[in-house]
Amino acid sequence: KLPPIDSKKIIVALENAKTAIRIKGTPGTKTTATAEVFGAPTKAAAQAGKSGIELLLEPLNTVDNPGFLISTSARALAIMDAVGSENLRLQYDVYHAQVMEGNLVKTLQTKLSRIGHIQIADNPGRQAPGTGEINFPFLFSALDQIAYRGWIGCEYIPSKSSGESLSWLKTWLKPALSG
């Protein structure tokens, strides 16, 4: 059973938020009642909507997060449809999506209008882009082609100092800054 929504915590978060707040699924079982799964996003979306805040629903892979009910983009989108709130959007974490689904570019192309934020890390091990199996040049080119204009967050475990771990960005920042 999900914990009750604490309205005071939501109000404090909304007062301090600029444009978006991330929410995520909770651990549970496949027999968890649908009302419990949809309840928290529904209440949070209604409260956030009053302040013009966008909520981001992030699926988490079940390899690193056993028992999470919202573990795929399809599941998150189904919940978003059931909630029916315009301010509830998908936080597309490339790392989690690669672990659970693959087909990263196809999902980005077909679900772009539902995505509020993109987050990146390479697989395996949530490492810096370019250290694993994800083809980031292909992914970034696809994001350019579909005209994604939102933020791309980096959430990975650096194997070096934070500054050194950002060296992969040089390839992408130069064209962006000169264009």
26: tokens are 């909770």
Is-contact 128 165, C-beta < 8 A? yes
Active site residues: 58, 155
Q: How far apart are CA 120 and CA 95, in angstroms?
A: 6
